[in-house]
Each structure stands twice: as structure tokens, then as C-alpha cells.
Amino acid sequence: MSWIQENKFTAGVLGAAVVVSGVLFYLGYSARSEAEQIREASNTAVAKTNALKRNQPFPSAENQQLVITKVANFTQEALGFQASLLAFRPEELPNLSESAFGTKVSEHRELLSRYYREKGVALREGGKGVAFGLEDYAGGKLPRGEATRVLNYERKALEWMFKKLADAGPDSLDNVYRTQVLEEKAAAPTKGRSRKKSRKSNRSAKVESVYRAMPIEVTFTGTEKALKEFLKELSNAEEYFFITRSVKIRNLEVESPDLNEGEFKAAPAAINGFGGEGFEVLQETGKPILKQVTGTEKIKVHLKLDLALFKEANEVTFPGADKLKKKASKEVVPATPAAPAEPVK
């Protein structure tokens, strides 16, 4: 007989002890694993809390409201700035008939050609083919009916701009190039697009500009003074808003100016006896002073400009503007941390 058969009670006790030990070991191991998980989660929470406490401001309910107020104030200021820019937009943009616009183009060309002759500014090829930005319609071509509304506004702005250029005193107007506005171009045929492209275009449509740009390029020959005067007039315009995209300047002189081109004059003589007793009387003859020899050279200038036509306020999407401007406040207290500075341990 085996020992187990002879000692059934003792064997039963030992077996029960082994089973209980295994159960206790399993429970202990499981509890340890859970404890480690809890400890790791606790450490992660402490790290996140400390990171939040280092933020300025601390994301409390109070500071959240302060941030909302600041954003609302910024929105209010942005809307105010938009309103100030709308002062450059005419109250009305009348839609002329095609023939009426053609007459305006002829008047535009004749007026500016006469103005440039009076100012002594030469035109390319004696003015042949020059229509001061409206060359597309100088030969009798008529624009599309829906384009005259914007084109007539652009024509008025170009008339003002070219007068200011002539007033600046350049030697010649060498070239003018105007990019067509959208209404002048034939409508492009719509083609089926894939769903992916359609989604992309929808996302892009959300990003809107507050104005539409009408590019114009001008090349003229003159002096640095003429360029400065023209740019000053553009920046000080009260009725039109021009954006200078780029300025390219080429000096027509190949070599640097020579000293012989300058003029010399004597410096003012020293005043005798200046300073009273105890000061040495200066009788030295003034040294000659060199007149400026740079800045009067002829330069060729190429300007890229945008005439900005600002959109009506209701044409511009400003996400959340109506909600935020109601929360704007004149005074905003700077947000400060609303939690103890000491980190959690």
C-alpha cells in the first residue's frame, strides 16, 4: 500500500494546503499587477497635473473664461479693422452697358495721354497702343456685360494712379500690364470631380480673403526721387487701396558715379571770437564739401501692384464672430495660475 492510502487524512491536508497556497499565490500576483497598474496610472496623472500647473494660465474655469473674453475682444477688434478697411470700398458699383464702358475707355485713354504730354512724360512708341491698363479694349473690343461693374471701378483707380505717377516726374512710361479680372474670362466648363477632390475644394473654400486683388504691373524710367514720390502717393491714397507686391530697380548707369560729377562749395567760415575770453579764435578757411553724387542717376523701375477691392462684411465668413462679439469686454484681467505653484508629489 502507498503512503497516501495509509495516511489519507494527512495526504488530504497536504493537498488542501497546496491548493490553498496556489490560490493565494495567484491572488497575490493579481493584486500586485493591479497595484502596479494603479501606481502607473497615478504617476501618469501626477505628471499630467504637474504639466498643467506649469501652464500659464492654468486651465481652470476662471481662466478659461478669461481666455474666451480675450478671444472675443480680438474678434471685436478684427471686425472693427475690417470696418475701417471698408472705407476704401465705394458705396455703389454701377453696372455700365458694354457700349458705355467702351466710351469710358476712350475718354480714359485721351485724358491720360494729354496729361502725360502736359507733364513731359514720354510714352512707349509715342503713345501708340498705350491705353494705361485698358489695352484689351482700346481697339473697340467690348467686355462681357457682367464685367463692366468691376472694370469701371478699376478704370477709375488706374486713372488716379497714372496721374500720380505723372506728377512724380518720371522720364517715360515704358510698359503697363493688367491682369484680367475673373468676370472678363470666359466661364470654364465644369467637369465631374472625384469625391476626394471635392472634399479638398470644400475645405479650401472655408479660407476666404477679405478683398479681391486686381494685379497691375508698371514699368517706367526716372529717378529715385520720382519712385519715392510715387510710392508715397500710393501709400497715402484715401480713396483706393494699393498693395505693393514687389519693386525691381535697375540702374541705367553701368559704372558708379565719378567725383567729377559732384559740385564743390566752400564750408561756412568760422565765427571770430566765439566763446568769449579763454577760447582760441579759429580763422581756418572752411574745407570744400562734396555735393551728393548718388540718387540722381536714371533708373528703370518695375512695380507689381494689387488694387484691393474689399468685400462687403456679409460676404466674408468670420467663424463664430456673432457669438464671440457678445462676450467681448472692454477690460480683461490677465489670466493667472489658479493652482498652487508646488508640484504634486
Higher-confidence position of 90 and 194: 90
* Region for 320 from its dihedrals, namely left if φ exceeds 0, alpha if ψ lies in -120 to 50, beta otherwise: left
Does 84 map to a domain? no
When pLDDT is averaged across residues 281-297 and rounded to a whole number, the result is: 52
When pLDDT is averaged across residues 74-84 and rounded to a whole number, the result is: 82
Does 141 map to a domain? yes
Higher-confidence position of 118 and 6: 118
List of residues 6+ apart from 272 with CB closer than 8 A: 281, 282, 283
331 closest CA partner among 73, 114, 97? 73
Domain span at residue 233? 90-184+210-253+293-313
Model pLDDT, residue 338: 45
Is the pLDDT at 188 greater than 50, yes or no? no
Higher-confidence position of 215 and 323: 215
d(CA 169, CA 163): 10
Does 234 map to a domain? yes
The band of 253, judged by pLDDT with boundaries at 50, 70 and 90, is confident
d(CA 94, CA 91): 10
The band of 158, judged by pLDDT with boundaries at 50, 70 and 90, is very high
Q: Annotate 188-227 with b (16+ C-beta within 10 A) or e (fewer).
A: eeeeeeeeeeeeeeeeeeeeeebbeebebbbbbbbbbebb
Does 143 map to a domain? yes
Higher-confidence position of 223 and 34: 223
Model pLDDT, residue 124: 84
Is the pLDDT at 256 greater than 80, yes or no? no
What DSSP assignment string belongs to 267-304?
A: PPPPPTTTT-TTSPPP-PPPPPEEPP-SS-S-EEEEEE
Does 56 map to a domain? no
Q: Is the pTM of this model over 0.85?
A: no
Number of structural domains found in the chain = 1
Model pLDDT, residue 42: 79
Q: Which of 99-108, 137-146, 193-202 bottoms out in mean pLDDT, i.e. has the lowest?
A: 193-202
- Tell me the CATH number at 101: 3.30.70.60
Higher-confidence position of 7 and 145: 145
* Region for 132 from its dihedrals, namely left if φ exceeds 0, alpha if ψ lies in -120 to 50, beta otherwise: left
> Helices (DSSP H) in the chain: which residue ranges?
3-6, 8-54, 61-85, 98-119, 148-167, 195-205, 224-235, 321-326
SS3 335: coil
For residue 220, the surrounding DSSP H or E stretch is strand 211-222
Model pLDDT, residue 233: 95
Does 164 map to a domain? yes
Does 167 map to a domain? yes
Q: Is 168 exposed, middle or buried (0-12, 13-18, 19+ CB in 10 A)?
A: buried
The band of 331, judged by pLDDT with boundaries at 50, 70 and 90, is very low
Does 27 map to a domain? no
Across the chain, mean pLDDT equals 76
